[in-house]
Amino acid sequence: MLRDLTIQNYRLFKDFHIDELARVNLIVGKNNSGKTSLLESIYLLVEKGDTNVFLKVLCSRDDSNEYYDPSFDSVIKRGLLPDTPWQISNLFHDHNYVASNQILIKSNKDQDLRLRIILDDWQRIEISQFDKFSSLNFPPAFGLLFLYTRGKINLKNLIPVDKNGLIQTSHLLNVSHQSRPQAISNQFIVSTNLSYNQLASSWDKISLTSEESTVIKALQIVEPDVERINFLSQPTSLGRAIVRLKGRDKPVPLNVMGDGMRRILGLAITTVTSEDGVLLVDEIDTGLHYQTQTDMWRLIVKTAQRLNVQVFATTHSWDCISAFQEVLSESSDPSVGKLFRLSARGEEIRAIPYTAEELAVAVPESIEVR
Amino acid sequence: MPNAPKPTALKPQQLLVEGKNDQHVVWALCQEHQLPETFSVIAPKQDRDQDKGISNLLPEIQVKLKGEDLQTLGIMVDADQDLAARWQALRDRLVASGYNIPQTLPPQGLVCPAPDPYLKKLGVWIMPDNQLPGIIENFAAQLVPDEDELLPIAEDTLNKIEQAGLNRYSAVSKPKALIHTWLAWQEKPGKPIGQAITAKVLQSNSSLALVFVDWLKRLFI
């Protein structure tokens, strides 16, 4: 579990430090205070600087956004990259793409984890270490190096960048991306709903295991009559996910049951498939009525404890914070959860912590923590 | 459990007080001295009972001081029986939050600038006058006109019923009994302290009131 995190020169963070992280961390803060950047940094670190993950992160910030899809890995693998190049300058706090500019994301309290993302002149990089790039016909101006270390383990990755600071998709087309070890699964959910394809493939891992009931219970938070869920192998006009409701002969397609069902399904499936990993959820309350949020947090907190998942979620919602506090207060170990507000003063961003005890003071008195 | 109500919009300058009564006293003094409305006066949702008062307020102060938009926090509490202990408890919390606080509370009230951009300007006033034990009712008694002839009689009366063992109030509540006895004998009996200030039955320009208003001005204006 990550206990601390230092982020230097990544997006809004010049030199950011957050400490005493909990198992379930709720992140609040005004717009542009770095909430999503924090989730991204954690994702990049726990995914060991995987370039697929990096491109996914870039894509998710793309203004057009249309290319972002959680099944992006398969898109890259199929070579179906968007035509527009990605500008990398915005990754750096100073918005510069000069050689030797570098991002550092590290954690050292629990395990010594370190990811450096360095922009360097292509000529200065020992390309021979990255055999997949030996076939590039025209050497690009820069390379973006991903250097990951965990104890004695070293991983290196490289992405070519042109003289304008752009990642040209043509450079990536012929590159086979390393498939990463699947032992630990980390998940990043953004406000865009998870695709049913993604959920269906995750469901295959859960179906007929003891975690199946966790997912059913999650759906019952929104619709108490749900008895079973299944995914059709072929999408029909009704969509892919169907549920059986108490007292009904025929299954009902999930997508006629509203956003909340799809959202809670996404949360439940991703949580139970993140065993020993990290779950990152941007705007966790999206689509969920405030009355369901207490049950949602109960599900997430209990599952995270049982399956050793560390959760980082963001919200703007008071109801979401209030529900979080309620669930922590009934937990036998309230320190399982913590709230952090990212607070900017000039260039500095600090994480202001609120323990469960402090939330138990603030929430009933309606003292603002956002 | 129903969700806790959303926080209401408050001014970035706030004065925390112990109860609704205290709130009205501050409002009345501000009105009499025509202070601009640059701060919110906040009482806990439910008036605390005497025993729990400060023990509830201390953790609240710590949480308040972490607020994103808060610029100035004033704290107005009763000394009760032990001023030194109250000050020490407050001081410990504030030092833990990162403030540089003098060992002794200044008689004119504490005003402390924000030590860093993440902390707030801070003020402390301990009723009645930062120097003596007591409660806000002792402060109110100081607002009784100097030559008033009823106050000594009210005091005598209380002493008499105490000697006869007829008092139903505890020793701690005696200042409360005194000021409300006195208020009961005015032209319009039974006004709460705040209204008595507005009606000029209690004097907003008594020397202690002026020190208090000056503290408010140094803190908030």
- Mind listing the pLDDT tens digit for each residue in B131-186? 999 999 999 999 999 999 999 999 999 999 999 999 999 999 999 999 999 999 99
Dihedral sign computed on CA atoms, order A34, A35, A36, A38: positive
> Which residues in chain A have their CB less than 8 angstroms from residue B62's CB?
358, 361
Inter-chain residue contact A368 with B69, CB threshold 8 Å: yes
B51 touches chain A (CB under 8 A): no
Helices H / strands E in chain B, number of each: 8, 5
> Which residues in chain B have their CB less than 8 angstroms from residue A370's CB?
68
A217 touches chain B (CB under 8 A): no
Q: What is the mean pLDDT of residues A149-166?
A: 89
In chain B, what percentage of residues exceed pLDDT 70? 95
A87 touches chain B (CB under 8 A): no
Question: What count of Cα atoms within 13 Å lies in the side-chain half-sphere of residue A353?
Answer: 16
* Average pLDDT in chain A: 86
pLDDT of residue A137: 66
Per DSSP, the residues of A261-330 read HHHHHHHHHHHHT-TTSEEEESSTTTT--HHHHHHHHHHHHHHHHHHT-EEEEE---HHHHHHHHHHHHH
B69 touches chain A (CB under 8 A): yes
> Which residues in chain A have their CB less than 8 angstroms from residue B8's CB?
366
A173 touches chain B (CB under 8 A): no
Candidates B45, B66, B69; nearest CB to A365: B45
Q: CB count, 10 Å around CB of B43?
A: 18
Candidates A319, A350, A361; nearest CB to B118: A350
In chain B, what percentage of residues exceed pLDDT 90? 86
Among A361, A363, A369, A370, the strongest candidate for a mutation testing the B interface, having the largest count of B CBs within 10 A, is A361
Q: Are A277 and A184 in contact (CB under 8 A)?
A: yes
Inter-chain residue contact B59 with A365, CB threshold 8 Å: no
> Which residues in chain A have their CB less than 8 angstroms from residue B1's CB?
294, 326
Q: Is the pLDDT of residue A224 over 60?
A: yes
Q: Are A132 and A176 in contact (CB under 8 A)?
A: yes
Q: Residue B165 and residue B162: Cα distance in Å, rounded? A: 5
Helix-strand-coil percent breakdown of chain B, rounded to 5?
Answer: 40, 10, 45
Q: What is the mean pLDDT of residues A245-271?
A: 89
Tokens of B125: 């006033």
Candidates A318, A326, A354; nearest CB to B6: A318
Q: Which residues in chain A (283-312) have CB-CB distances under 8 A to chain B?
A: 290, 294
A370 touches chain B (CB under 8 A): yes
Q: Are A307 and A275 in contact (CB under 8 A)?
A: yes
Strand pairing category for A252-253 and A86-87: unpaired
Tokens of B202: 């209690």
Q: What is the mean pLDDT of residues A234-254?
A: 85
Sheet of A310-314, strand order: A187-189, A278-281, A310-314, A24-29, A337-345, A348-354
Inter-chain residue contact A366 with B45, CB threshold 8 Å: yes
Confidence of residue A69 (pLDDT cuts 50, 70, 90): very low
Q: How far apart are the first and last CA of chain B?
A: 41
Candidates A319, A350, A365; nearest CB to B44: A365
pLDDT of residue B13: 97
Q: Is the pLDDT of residue A184 over 70?
A: no
Q: CB count, 10 Å around CB of A153?
A: 9
pLDDT of residue B3: 65
Min Cα–Cα distance to chain B from A341, Å: 8
Among B46, B66, B97, the strongest candidate for a mutation testing the A interface, having the largest count of A CBs within 10 A, is B66
> Which residues in chain B have their CB less than 8 angstroms from residue A366's CB?
4-8, 45
Q: Is the pLDDT of residue A64 over 50?
A: no
Q: What is the mean pLDDT of residues A333-356?
A: 96
Min Cα–Cα distance to chain A from B68, Å: 7
pLDDT of residue B184: 97
B26 three-class SS = helix
Inter-chain residue contact A352 with B4, CB threshold 8 Å: no
Residues in chain B: 221
Among B63, B71, B93, B119, the strongest candidate for a mutation testing the A interface, having the largest count of A CBs within 10 A, is B63
B85-142 residue pLDDT tens: 999 999 999 999 999 999 999 999 999 999 999 999 999 999 999 999 999 999 999 9
> Which whole-number Å values give the CA distances from A146 to A48, A51, A52, A129, A143, in the listed order?
9, 8, 12, 13, 10
Q: Mean pLDDT: which of A95-109, A158-172, B177-191 is highest?
A: B177-191
